[in-house]
Amino acid sequence: MLDAEGSGPVTHEVSLKRKLTLPLLILYGLGVTIGAGIYVLVGTTAARAGVYAPVSFLIAATVVAFTGFAYAELSTRHPVSAGEAAYVRAGFNSNSLTLIVGLLVAASGIVSSAAVSIGAAAYIGEIVPLSQTFLSIAIILIVGVIAAWGILESVFIAAVFTIVEIAGLGFVIYFGISSDPAIISKVGTLFPPLEGVVWGGIISASLLAFFAFVGFEDIANVAEEVVEPHRTLPRGIILTLVVATVLYFLVVSVVVLVVPMAELSSSAAPLALVFEKAGSTASGIFRLIAIIATTNGVLIQIIMASRVIYGLSKQKSLPSFLSIVNPVTRTPLTATAIIVALVLLFATLLPIDQLAEATSSIVLLVFSLVNLALIRLKMTAPQPTEGVFVVPLWVPVMGLLTSIALLISGLLPI
């Protein structure tokens, strides 16, 4: 077929397909949120906050909530891949800042995937006597193939994994309470006194706990594959945060009350410690669930990071070959391959706590810029069109202030 002037063939650009409904979108968000942190970082958070670790998770949830509502508005104003980059472009009209933000988001996905792959390897290593490095590499490569397969297929697999991992957290809560019902009477000990030394550890631990919430913002980066994005995206973001917060508080409360602190603070597979005395069957079932949960976190972060690179390329901030969509898989294969290679690199170079803290710092910086972009839009741009989810101005202001405060806390001595 020739173009309108008869000068050459018409080329049809292959685009992403809108297949993600609200249930799949929520499971997508919960998959990366829950799998990324709670199965891996309870121990390192408890090492800083002690028995008050649940409070650290509540502080992190508060920071995330303000920014979550800001994302809900921005994702309906600009329902595109590489969402954060598009938000910053709209708010600041700066190509260089747009590219920086987009690359920071992709970096957060890369570093997060590397961290969670180490956690997954730790759980698998308790069953299979192979080196953690080898297991991390194998996990990343297998997950990379799934991510390249197709968005519906990979998100469907992630959704199934997410249901399993939520059931696993319910298993932790149930088994922890049933094995020691007296912990219910100790709930009051989870709330700290007003002492500076105690709160210093809690605030420092909040930066690590924040890592456990990294994921809800990934919902914005699959916007071009969401059915009815103006209705589905805000609901997906808000429901993901609510469910994750409730689960986190319950799970962490049970774990810090059941597991000896010395064991918990040094473990890369912390939730498995709840089942130490449960016998081989219960312990084995939970380890299998934990492997699924952590592997799921790696999968979804790789999907997210590849879509950010795709989106930046489509917005002409990166080379055009990165936005090529394979006509068979309908996924950006080149972008996915690059992300997988970088995840492999980081997983073999840095320990899990450094990767988690780096992820949290990167995401908090992005959150600060996204909130500032929404503030500028609200103060300078016309009122959004009908169908846009709108929040009051004070919401992104609080999102900006809390993100900056938590980011600065990571620079303070413990």
**Per-domain boundaries in the chain:** 22-388
Please give the distance of CA 161 from its chain centroid, rounded to a whole number: 15
H or E segment at 197?
helix 196-211
Q: Give φ, ψ of 264 to 5 degrees.
A: -65, -45
The answer to whether 142 and 249 are in contact (CB under 8 A) is: no
CA dihedral 370, 376, 377, 380 (to 10 degrees): -170
CA-based end-to-end distance of the chain: 67
pTM: 0.74
pLDDT for 401 equals 94
Determine the Cα–Cα distance for residues 60 and 57; give it in Å rounded to an integer: 5
DSSP class of 270: G
Report CA torsion sign: 367, 66, 225, 243.
positive
Structure-block tokens of residue 59: 């502080």
Please give the distance of CA 234 from its chain centroid, rounded to a whole number: 16
User: For the packed helices 132-149 and 95-125, what is the interaxial angle rounded to 10 degrees?
Assistant: 120
Residue written as tokens 């799934």? 146
Each residue's pLDDT tens digit, 262-274: 777 777 667 777 7
Residues of the chain with pLDDT below 50 are 1-12
Determine the Cα–Cα distance for residues 88 and 92; give it in Å rounded to an integer: 6
Cα-atom radius of gyration of the chain, to the nearest Å?
21
Each residue's pLDDT tens digit, 85-95: 788 888 888 88
pLDDT for 35 equals 61
Determine the Cα–Cα distance for residues 286 and 282; give it in Å rounded to an integer: 6
Structure-block tokens of residue 73: 């508005």
Structure-block tokens of residue 230: 């103006």
Report CA torsion sign: 353, 240, 203, 293.
negative
The answer to whether 233 and 72 are in contact (CB under 8 A) is: yes
What's 22-388's CATH class? mainly alpha
Structure-block tokens of residue 323: 């936005």
pLDDT for 176 equals 82
| Contacts for 43 with CB less than 8 Å, ≥ 6 apart | 264, 265, 266, 267, 268, 270
pLDDT for 400 equals 95
